Structure 1
């Protein structure tokens, strides 16, 4: 591993152990077995390193969720059923990444005060919206107007983010996958125009 990768791995370890806000530059240097000054040399600042670490960890978790949801949705072209598959995989994936989600929410809370972090998070969310829209639309993606696909991606990201936040605050109050599936079907049936 390169020195830069060591620092990134140390920052990710600190995210899990201490959280985004409580991690100091010294914590990262210690976890990485590196000199404190190397953070500035490789990343410019501790905040830039932490933003890179949280985005990399969130991206990895999102990629695993996407792969699982794509596999679960492989048998259907219906966007509502594909959403059911996504939510089922989300229910299964959230508990295993508690510390990551804590760090991600802390990073979101810091974003209004840090333009670099805000820009990085905005780019990550944009990519997430695109991935989620493609996942839900499946073979219908090419036939869907771009503004509709963008809105679908934003709504799906709101569901994922909202579910993660609720899981942090009151995990016992969250519905299970079958209840979420029933809710999606109820909503999509109510949204269909009468025939």
Structure 2
């Protein structure tokens, strides 16, 4: 690996260990075995390097978790509710190994209000990620029906963020896959007369 790749790997490790706010250029240099001048030369700034490292981490997470949601040795159920529960069970089971990435994502959300560069960097990948979520969770081909994949991905992204925040807040009362499925059933089956 060259300095550029070493810096990216070091920055990824720093983000997972320390987060955005606490990572310094010297931390990255120590983790990568490079020098301070390399950051400016290869990335322009520490912030640009951290932004690229964040994107790389989320892409790696998606590449690791996405295939795990697809059919493996055990085919997913045909019933949509049973499939929903099976897939969400896998997502929730993956939380512990993904905890550092989720913690980092929550920090990133708090930075978006004041960090225009970070917001711009993640816009495109966020849209791509939604299509990936639709594919991973529903087996959808985003190219066959981009609009359906877009809205399904948005809903999945919203659910995922909410579930993971609850997991981080209180794992004992966080929703299980069955809780989510039962809640979806109530939501979908509640008739207008019940709301009157």
Instruction: Bin the TM-score by the shorter chain.
Output: 0.7 to 0.9
Structure 2 residue aligned with 1:171: 171
Structure 2 gaps, min length 5 = 192-196
Superposed CA RMSD? 2.5
Please say if 1:133 is aligned against 2:131. Answer: no
The equivalent of 1:149 in structure 2 is: 149
Q: What is the rounded CA distance, in whole Å, between the counterparts of 2:25 and 2:65 in structure 1?
A: 31
Range with bigger deviation, 118-127 or 18-27:
118-127
Q: Indicate how the Cα distance of structure 1 residues 67 and 34 shifts in structure 2: closer, same or farther if over 3 A, else same.
A: same
The 5 A counterparts of 1:69-84 are 69-71=69-71, 74-76=75-77, 79-84=80-85
CA shift at 1:152, angstroms?
1.6
* Structure with the larger helix share: 1
The equivalent of 2:4 in structure 1 is 4
Which residue is 1:93 aligned to? 94
**140 and 84 in structure 1: CA distance in 2 versus 1, 3 angstrom threshold:** farther
How much has 1:176 moved relative to structure 2?
2.1
TM-score of the superposition, structure 1-length normalised?
Answer: 0.84
CA deviation after TM superposition for structure 1 residue 141, in Å: 6.2
- The separation in 1 between residues aligned to 2:121 and 2:105, in whole angstroms, is 12
SS of aligned partner of 1:180: helix
Runs of 5+ in structure 1 lacking a partner? none
Report the CA distance between 1:189 and its aligned residue.
Answer: 3.9
Q: CA deviation at 1:13?
A: 1.4
Residues 41-74 of structure 1, C-alpha deviations (whole Å, 9 max, x = no match): 1111111111111111111112222111112684
Within a 5 Å distance, the mapping from 1:1-195 to structure 2 comes to: 1-71=1-71, 74-76=75-77, 79-138=80-139, 146-190=146-190
Cα distance between partner residues in 1 of 2:14 and 2:165: 21
Task: Provide the aligned length of Structure 1 versus Structure 2.
Answer: 190
- Give 3-state SS (helix, strand or coil) of 2:23's partner: coil
Query: Could you say which structure has the greater relative contact order, defined with CA pairs below 8 angstroms and 6 or more residues apart?
Result: 1
Please state how far the C-alpha of 1:142 moved relative to its aligned partner. Answer: 7.2
Normalising by structure 2, we get a TM-score of: 0.84
